[in-house]
Structure 1
Amino acid sequence: MSAVDHPPRVPETALDTTSRLAARIAERVSGLPGPPRIDELLARTLRGNEFTTLLLHGLRQRARQRTFGDVREQALRSPMVQASAVDARRMHALDGVLLECARDYEAVELAPVEPLGNAACVGIDPNNVLGTARFAEVASDPSMGLALHAACVRRREPSRGSEALRWCASQRVLRLQPFDRPGYSPHFRLFALATSARSSQAAGDDATERRSLLEHLTVWAELAHRLPGAGFDVAGARVVLSDTRLVAAYLRARSPGVDVERLVRGVKVHRPESAREALREAGVSEARVDGDWCDDPVVRDLPEPDRERARALRDDVAKPLQARFPQLGIGYDLTRLQGLNYYRGPFLQIYFRHENGMDLPMGDGGAVSWMQELLSDWRQRFTISGIGSELLVKLFSSKEKR
């Protein structure tokens, strides 16, 4: 074996602090009645600091046993630790355009990790994020990092009370759900917008969220307009608006007795066709409207409160957006299942059209209830949206720029 495979080891000592603490914890646990099974021990019995100490001890000892050869082999087989295939200069150029379009938003450089459980709090399975040994997890979405940032700002600066605060961030994130589509990798860069505001009403009115969504969509529409001049083959953009309550009302009206929660659980982000399959299983036809959905039978048949929500989304978001960007396509979807349990109220999808004619989904967004939970204040409103900026570089970079 070469010296590379067997590097010199850092000498260990019997007085090693981590090892000593781990031994003390093991001695305490061994004296418990039972003793508890290993799965119960890790999940519930150990105190937080003990859990961290044992994990650090185990990982530290395993790390010391590994060679450069072991590290090399893992790097070869695990996409999670491999460099992105995207050209860093093209990524940098796109970030520059994005930051210019989001000039009214404070740009934040987010931390690469978040508190453990952050993803689970917003409904993401912990198996799909990378937890660390120090009660943290690798960032899986910049929107969640921006939410924590917003909550901290609100706590530290209460004088900013009802002021609408706006942030944007470009972040490389890691997700561990299965991806089998070409060009996809576990880690990638996203660009997100977030608006935190305090509504004059505790519940029932989405005017604050609609204003925020209009501002977000103005950024994305301007981005689509600027991209061709920056060397990207973008020929146009389209926005699809919806509302989680309207979707739920439509599903129940078309399929009485349908379990909406169960229906949504069957939808997988990495399998876009799963939403269509779930609708078909429930006996519901897709309801997408390209014109004014308030004149469409799918909305006219809904109860008046739902029809009013549809009118408000049209009047407060679609109409002013269309007036400013006449070339922007705007449609509506009453059967959008993706994100139905993630967003609360108005939500949207963003599509960019390639010069070859393909219409590709590049992002989404909507109102979420996270800030209400983080600050225990039901007047808080938080609106997010984002696009797959790295995917945009991969799919839309002009050939001469690649």
Structure 2
Amino acid sequence: MNGTDHVSIDETLRHALAQGMAATELWSLLLSVLEQRAAQRTPSMVRQQWKTDRFVQPCAVNQRMLNELDSHLLAAAAEFEALELSPVAPLASCSTVALTSQNRIVSTARGTEVVSDPTNVLALECARRLREAPDAVIKLTTSHRCVRAQAVPKRPGFSAHFRMFCLASAAHERKDHGFVTEALAEHIRTHLSALDRLEKHGYHFPDRRLRLLATPERRHLAERMSKEIVELPVTLETLEHPYYDGLRFMIDAGTPDGNAVPLIDGGAFDWLRKLTDNKRMVYVASGMGSQLAAMLFRRVARIA
């Protein structure tokens, strides 16, 4: 058998597993394979993986510190309903609606994936609720440990799994894009309130700066928002990233070494329109790298 034959067999097998087999049969097959793989492993092999695998390493931040941090962040988001999400979500929760590859996500053998971005999961919950109550305004928040499979920047505070604080708002759009602009402004002010609260409990976020990014078609909305948000300096920039639906915001803060860190990121997304088949649905989501905040911006080590 030559190399070409091997390639042909691999492609045939891949096609059969990906498309030619019913999902329930595939999950059953994969679970059986993993069970047999696990039976072949020794304690020393497990110990070695615990030592070297970046996905299983414990977080570098003290858990008590993260719990205290979460309590302050959730308190700042009192206007949002707080959800404790499952560690896993339906397979393709991100890749079916957002511009991302499934290869960047840890998929499981049970038709699920480890949550890599809570805002995608919150969009699913918003879609469910709006189907039941189409006129509702949904506002959700969560703090969640995420796992991502892409390469990790070799900088302090970055790891394969990390804590993220998120906000999500969803509703039918109103006249003159009233809902999307109002929701974005509320997210910005909530995050700023969270930073203010943290600064009373041992953190420092100097040199804050708000960037509003918009496509040319939506620049007038960014300009409208920039006049309403007076809590910190605002700069307008052109949005080129197609991941967002025309509007994005970023909040930077300075670290003790003088570097500006993009700590908070949010914007409008078209995910809810895809999930509900309703073009009038608007979804706004944002997130703060809370674990990054604990590592780079804490100036008083009070938690032991």
TM-score, scaled to structure 1 = 0.69
1:138 to 92, 108, 114: 114
Distance (Å, rounded) in 2 between the aligned partners of 1:88 and 1:41: 44
Q: 1:117 aligns with which of 74, 92, 95?
A: 92
Is the 2:249–2:267 Cα contact (8 Å) retained in structure 1? yes
Aligned equivalent of 2:177: 206
Q: Distance in 1 between matches of 2:250 and 2:113?
A: 27
Distance (Å, rounded) in 2 between the aligned partners of 1:401 and 1:211: 37
**1:121-176 deviations in Å (ceiling 9; x for gaps):** 11211110001001110000110111111112223x32xx2232100000000001
Contact 1:162-1:199 within 8 A present in 2 as well: no
Task: Provide the residue aligned with 1:319 in structure 2.
Answer: 227
Q: 1:379 matched to which residue of 2?
A: 280
CA offset digits 1:39-96 (Å, max 9, x no partner): 1111111111111111011001111121211111111110101110011121112111
Q: Which structure 2 residues correspond to residues 142-181 of structure 1 after superposition, within 5 A?
A: 142-155=118-131, 157-158=132-133, 161-181=134-154
- C-alpha distance in 1 between matches for 2:245 and 2:227: 22
1:197 maps onto 2:189 in alignment: no
- Over residues 343-400 of structure 1, what are the superposed CA-to-partner deviations in whole Å (9 max), with x where a residue is unaligned? 1021111112235543211121110011111111111100001110001100011153
- C-alpha distance in 2 between matches for 1:128 and 1:35: 22
1:256-288 deviation per Cα after TM superposition (whole angstroms, max 9, x unaligned): xxxxxxxxxxxxxxxxxxxxxxxxxxxxxxxxx
8 Å contact kept, 1:206–1:345: no
Q: Which residue of 2 aligns with 1:39?
A: 14
Deviation at 1:98, TM superposition (A): 0.7
The 3-state SS of whatever aligns with 2:171 is strand
* Secondary structure, counterpart of 2:94 in structure 1: helix
- Write the letter of the residue equivalent to 1:320: E
3-state secondary structure, aligned to 1:311:
helix
Aligned partners of 2:112 and 2:261: how far apart in 1?
A: 34
Instruction: Choose from 45, 54, 67 the match for 2:42.
Output: 67
Give the direction of change, closer, same or farther, for the CA distance of 1:169–1:47 in structure 2 (3 Å limit): same
For residues 256 and 227 of structure 2, what CA distance do their matches in structure 1 show? Answer: 26
Once the two structures are TM-superposed, the CA of residue 225 in structure 1 deviates from its matched residue by 1.9
Aligned letter for 2:139? R
What SS does the aligned partner of 2:79 have? coil
Note closer, same or farther for the CA distance 1:83–1:35 as it changes in structure 2 (3 Å cut). Answer: closer
Residue 74 of structure 2 aligns to a residue in which SS?
A: helix
Tell me which amino acid in the other structure corresponds to 2:229. L
**Alpha-carbon distance in structure 1 between the residues aligned to 2:185 and 2:244:** 16
C-alpha change, 1:77 and 1:234, in structure 2 (3 Å) is: same
For residues 278-293 of structure 1, what are the structure 2 equivalents within 5 Å?
none
The match for 1:30 is none
Matches of 1:387 and 1:70, distance apart in 2: 36
CA 311–123 in structure 1, closer or farther in 2 if over 3 Å, else same: closer
- Give the structure 2 partner of residue 329 of structure 1: 233
Unaligned runs of 5+ in 2: 1-8
CA contact (8 A) 1:107 1:167 kept: yes
The whole-number CA distance in structure 2 between the counterparts of 1:399 and 1:124 is 38
How many residue pairs match? The answer is 293
Q: Secondary structure at the match of 2:293?
A: helix
Compute the TM-score of the two structures, normalised by the length of structure 2. Answer: 0.91
For the pair shown, the structure with the greater C-alpha radius of gyration is 1
Give the corresponding residue for 1:395.
Answer: 296
Pairing of 1:336-351 with structure 2 (within 5 A): 336-337=239-240, 340-351=241-252
Task: Please state if 1:219 is matched with 2:190.
Answer: yes
Q: Secondary structure at the match of 1:79?
A: coil
Provide the residue aligned with 2:265 in structure 1: 364
Give the root-mean-square deviation of aligned CA atoms.
1.9
Instruction: State the AA in 2 paired with 1:88.
Output: Q
- SS of residue matched to 1:310: helix
Residue 126 of structure 1 is matched in structure 2 by: 102
Unpaired stretches in structure 1, ≥5 consecutive residues: 1-33, 247-305
**1:235 match: secondary structure:** coil
- Cα distance, 1:200–1:218 mapped onto 2, change above 3 Å: closer
Counterpart residue number, 1:87: 62
Find the aligned partners of 1:366 and 1:170 in 2 and give their Cα distance: 18
Shift in CA distance, 355/82, structure 1 to aligned 2, threshold 3 Å: closer
C-alpha displacement of 1:222: 1.2
Alignment of 1:10-21 (within 5 A): none
